[in-house]
Amino acid sequence: MTDTDTGTFDRDTRYISDRITTDVPPGSAPVGAKVGEMTWPVEAGRYHLAGARACPWAHRAIIARALMGLDDVISLGLAGPTHDEHSWTFDLDPGGKDPVLGIERLQEAYFNRVPDYPLGITVPAMVDIPTVAVVTNDFDQLSIDLATQWGAFANEDAPELYADAQRDEIEAINARVYPDLNNGVYQAGFATSQSAYDDAYQRVFATLAWLEEHLANRRYLVGDSITLADIRLYATLVRFDPVYHGHFKCNRQTISSMPVLSAYLRDLYQTPGFGDTTDIDQIKEHYYVVHTNVNPTQIVPHGPELSWLMAPHGREDLP
């Protein structure tokens, strides 16, 4: 929603904030009496991750699931790239129904948990398969819990996405990247005043400049392997040139024109779990068709040319 006085886009961050953790024995009912404050058991085959390749917030959870090797433990449902004011729909599936949940609209799973759910029907959403009810749609905590609570089912070579020793540094980076870049591009794109746009635009490119410097002599944002910090950043960077540069008016420069960030993005894109979960066509269709307040014609551009994402990145020897 946009503040009518300042023209600034303010994201609604109210979610169903239940968690899935190892604190509850497998096969148990959730512990707690209040929706949003309950704890559910880690249990293979019980949950269905409802996402969409178009959405950056859902993309984070999809990548975390892939890197952890949880494909056979948590099933994945993918909504189509466009939706109406009511809900994401499973129009990519035969018959327009999610084959695991048997529903046409994600809204149904929200209503099964909270009748007449009054907030946004968002992805990602972790759904309890037996009850076809949403457990949580808190995108940030959901990814953290995928990284920290499902280790018993993870691949032996799965990266430590949120290691204890790195959490403070990961969250310190997030404290800048989330408001000024991940959400900053939206504040630029949805601004309804020049001053709100100017502020968001400046913060976006100041953050990109800082990242260009931060990553100049290190391969990843934190430590010597991929963490949640990289996943969070990737979902924005890979959408920047095809969407945010033009659609959201963040057009000072492209990621492809930034030597360090373009190489960093290529490195991640070519890593299993990243590029193979990215669908640029769905990304463009979502933004340019759904955001009629920004693009009333709903025309989806053919460009830009993105073959550079598969070019050599040369970052293998960085510390």
- What's the number of CA atoms in the CB half-sphere (13 Å) around residue 303? 7
Backbone φ, ψ for residue 127 (5° rounding): -115, 135
- 13 half-sphere exposure, CB direction, 13 A CA radius: 8
Q: Cα separation of 88 and 304, whole Å?
A: 26
pLDDT tens digits along 9-65: 999 999 999 999 999 999 999 999 999 999 999 999 999 999 999 999 999 999 999
The closest alpha carbon to 60, from 166, 174, 209, belongs to 174
Closest CA to 210 of 182, 244, 241, 176: 176
- 221 with 173: CB under 8 angstroms? yes
Q: Compute the distance between CA of residue 9 and CA of residue 196 in angstroms, rounded to an integer.
A: 8
Classify residue 228 by its DSSP letter. H
Mind listing the pLDDT tens digit for each residue in 219-274? 999 999 999 999 999 999 999 999 999 999 999 999 999 999 999 999 999 999 99
Q: Which pLDDT band, with edges at 50, 70 and 90, does 87 fall under?
A: confident
Superfamily for 19-153? Glutaredoxin (3.40.30.10)
Output 139-142 pairs: Cβ under 8 A, ≥24 positions apart. Answer: 139/15, 139/57, 139/58, 139/60, 139/61, 141/17, 141/19, 142/61
In 3D space, the residue among 176, 287, 279, 271 whose CA is nearest the CA of residue 233 turns out to be 176
Q: Does the annotation flag 210 for ligand binding?
A: no
- Supply the pTM of this predicted model: 0.97
Classify domain 164-310 at the CATH topology level. Glutathione S-transferase Yfyf (Class Pi); Chain A, domain 2 (1.20.1050)
Predicted confidence (pLDDT) per residue in 288-298, tens digit: 999 999 999 99
For the chain, how big is the Rg over CA atoms in Å? 19
Where does CATH 3.40.30.10 sit in the chain? 19-153
Give the mean pLDDT of 207-229: 98
Single-letter residue type at 102: G
Quote the pLDDT of residue 2.
Answer: 76
Q: DSSP string of 17-79?
A: B-EEETTS-TTPPPB-SSTTS-EEE--TTSEEEEE-TT-HHHHHHHHHHHHHT-TTTSEEEE-
State the span(s) of the chain assigned CATH 1.20.1050.10. 164-310
Backbone angles phi, psi at 281, to 5 degrees: -65, -45
**In the chain, at which residue ranges do the beta strands (DSSP E only) sit?**
19-21, 39-41, 47-51, 75-78, 125-128, 133-136
**Which residues form the catalytic set?**
55, 186
